[in-house]
C-alpha cells in the first residue's frame, strides 16, 4: 500500500521532508488518474503534442524514476524502453497498456525504490555521471524527481480537465 497522500512530513528533517514530497508527487499521479477511463487516458488533445497523454505521462514518470535511481544512481543495466531511434518510446507503448496496470507498476516500483533507498545517505553519489560529467548525490536526484514528477502532474491535471472536466485533485 502506498503512503498517505500528504505534503506535510511527520518531522522536518531533510530526509523525511524529501521523501514526503517525493511520495506526495507520486501519489498525486495516481490521484489525478482516479476514475479516468483508458480511452481518455490515451487521448492526446493538444495538436502540437501528439505524445502528451495521461497514460504516456504515467509511463514517463515511472521510467524517469527508474532511469535516475536504478540506472544512474545504482549503475544497474538500462532496461528503459526508449531507443536511440525512439527516445519517447515509453510514452508510445503506454497507449497499449491499461491505465490501472501502468499505475500499479509505478506504485510497485515506487515501493521497491522507497525500501531500497531508505538507508542510503543523501550524500552518496551516483555510479554513473550526469551529462556534465559530475556524479550527483542522492539528495539532488530526489529533489530532481520531485521537480520532474510535479511538473508532469501539472500536465496530467490539464489533460484530465480536457478529458472529462475533473479538476482540483
Task: For 45-75, write each residue's pLDDT tens digit.
Answer: 999 999 999 999 999 999 999 999 999 999 9
User: Is the separation of the CB atoms in 67 and 76 below 8 Å?
Assistant: no
SS3 (DSSP) at 50: coil
Task: Supply the pLDDT for residue 2.
Answer: 54
Q: How many CB atoms lie within 10 A of CB 156?
A: 24
Q: Take residue 33 and report the three cell numbers written for it.
A: 488518474
Query: Is the pLDDT confidence value at 168 over 90?
Result: no
Task: Supply the pLDDT for residue 169.
Answer: 80
The whole-number average pLDDT for the span 5-11 is 90
User: Is the separation of the CB atoms in 53 and 43 below 8 Å?
Assistant: yes
Q: Please state the pTM of the whole predicted model.
A: 0.95
Dmax (CA) for the chain in angstroms is 45
What is the set of domains in the chain, with CATH numbers? 14-164 (1.20.120.450)
Task: Supply the pLDDT for residue 1.
Answer: 46
Would you list the DSSP string of 123-134?
Answer: T-B-SS--TTS-
SS3 (DSSP) at 134: coil
Whole-number percent of the chain with pLDDT over 90 = 93
Q: Which long-range contacts (CB under 8 A, 24 or more apart) does 52-55 make?
A: 52/155, 52/159, 53/91, 53/94, 53/95, 53/159, 54/99, 54/156, 54/159, 54/160, 54/163, 55/94, 55/95, 55/97, 55/99, 55/102
Amino acid at each position: 500500500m502506498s503512503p498517505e497522500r500528504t505534503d506535510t512530513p511527520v518531522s522536518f528533517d531533510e530526509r523525511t521532508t524529501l521523501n514526503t514530497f517525493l511520495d506526495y508527487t507520486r501519489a498525486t499521479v495516481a490521484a489525478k488518474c482516479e476514475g479516468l477511463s483508458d480511452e481518455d487516458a490515451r487521448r492526446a488533445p493538444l495538436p502540437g503534442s501528439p505524445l502528451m497523454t495521461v497514460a504516456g505521462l504515467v509511463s514517463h514518470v515511472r521510467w524517469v524514476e527508474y532511469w535516475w535511481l536504478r540506472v544512474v544512481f545504482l549503475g544497474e543495466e538500462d532496461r528503459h524502453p526508449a531507443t536511440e531511434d525512439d527516445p519517447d518510446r515509453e510514452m508510445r507503448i503506454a497507449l497499449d497498456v491499461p491505465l490501472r496496470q501502468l499505475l500499479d507498476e509505478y506504485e510497485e516500483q515506487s515501493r521497491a525504490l522507497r525500501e531500497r533507498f531508505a538507508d542510503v545517505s543523501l550524500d552518496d553519489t551516483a555510479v554513473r555521471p550526469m551529462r556534465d560529467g559530475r556524479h550527483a548525490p542522492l539528495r539532488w536526484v530526489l529533489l530532481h524527481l520531485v521537480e520532474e514528477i510535479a511538473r508532469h502532474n501539472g500536465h496530467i491535471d490539464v489533460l484530465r480537465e480536457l478529458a472529462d472536466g475533473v479538476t482540483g485533485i
